[in-house]
Amino acid sequence: MKDITLDVNGKQHKVSVDPDMPLLYALRDDLGLNNPKFGCGLAQCGACTVHLDGQPVRSCVTAVSDAEGKKVVTLAGLGTPEKPHPLQTAYIEEQVPQCGYCINGWIMTAATFLAEKKRPSEAQIKQALEGLKCRCGTHVSILKAVKRAATMMG
């Protein structure tokens, strides 16, 4: 066990954990943040995605010790009902989710992509999101929402 300080959504948290434990469990079990989900534990689906210093990472395979000294942002920290991220607004407008368990992967990955790439083509959007999973099959709506958000972000 090791004391680790995490900077999550702008707040400092001290946790005493196995340093090899994936960040996902620190966020969910120690910090009580429910947004990153356990989908596979294998970095294959994206349900656990968070930002580490602005880049999307799969928290299910990222050791909690690797997050020390970096800024962790989860879906809850990306935007709020009062100050939503354009992707959150677009998701609501397009009524994307069915079960919604996959949301973290798509929104957190797309957020970084859209911050770096203005006015992407549909093919570029698809490429950026390749590999993320949605089992309910909301693919059509996901793409509409990302396109909508891209327009909102200019």
Partner 1 sequence: MTKFEKPASFSRRSLLKSTGALVVSVGAPLGLDALLAIDKARAQGGKPPLMPDQLSSYIAINGDGTVAAYFGKMDMGHGLFVAIGQMVAEELDVPFKAVTVFMGDTATSVNQGGASGSTGIQFGGKQMRMAAAEARRVLVDMAAEKLAIPADGLTVTEGVVHAKADAARKVSYAELIGGRYFNVQLDWNKQWGNTLYAPGKAQPKPHTAHKIVGQPIKREDVAPKVFAQEDYCTDIKVPGMVHGRMIRPPVAGAVPVKIDDSAVRDIPGLKVVHENGFLGVVANREWDAIKAAEKLKVEWSNTADPFPEQATLYDHIRKAPVRKAQIDQQNGNVDEAFKTAARVIEAEYEWPFQSHASMGPACALVEIKDGQATVWSGTQKSHFVQQGVAATIGLPVENVRVIWKTGPGSYGRNDADDCAADAATLAKAVGKPVRLQYMREQGTGWDPKGPASVHKVRAALDPSGNVTAYEFMTKAFSRVDVDTNGSKPFDTLSGQTRGVALKSGDGFGVPAESYAFANKKMGWETIPPLLDRASPLRTSHLRDPVGPQIHFASESFIDEVAAAVNADPIEFRLRYVKDPRDRALLEAVRDRSGWQSRPSPRGDQTGTKAAGRGIAYSQRNGTRVAIVAEVEIHRQSGKIFAKKFTVAHDCGQIINPDGLVKCIEGNIVQGISRTLWEEVAFDRKAVTSVDWLTYPILDITETPETIDCVLINHPELPPTGAGEPSIRPVAAAIANAIFDATGVRIRRVPFSPERVKQALS
Residues that bind partner 1 (CB under 8 A): 17-18, 21-22, 25, 28-29, 32-35, 37-42, 44-45, 47, 74-76, 79-81, 84, 87-88, 91-92, 95-103, 107, 126-127, 129-143
Closer CB to partner 1, 62 or 74, in the complex: 74
Closer CB to partner 1, 37 or 51, in the complex: 37
Q: Is 25 helix (H, G, I), strand (E, B) or coil?
A: helix
Q: What is the DSSP string of 66-123?
A: GGTTSEEE-HHHH--SSS--HHHHHHHHHT--SS-TTHHHHHHHHHHHHHH-SS--HH
Sheet holding 71-73, edge to edge: 11-17, 2-8, 71-73, 49-52, 55-58
Q: Which amino acid is at 70?
A: K
CB of 118 to partner 1, least distance (A): 20
CB of 154 to partner 1, least distance (A): 21
Closer CB to partner 1, 55 or 80, in the complex: 80
Dihedral, CA of residue 144, residue 129, residue 48 and residue 149, to nearest 10: -40
CB of 119 to partner 1, least distance (A): 19
CB of 50 to partner 1, least distance (A): 11
Closer CB to partner 1, 70 or 144, in the complex: 144
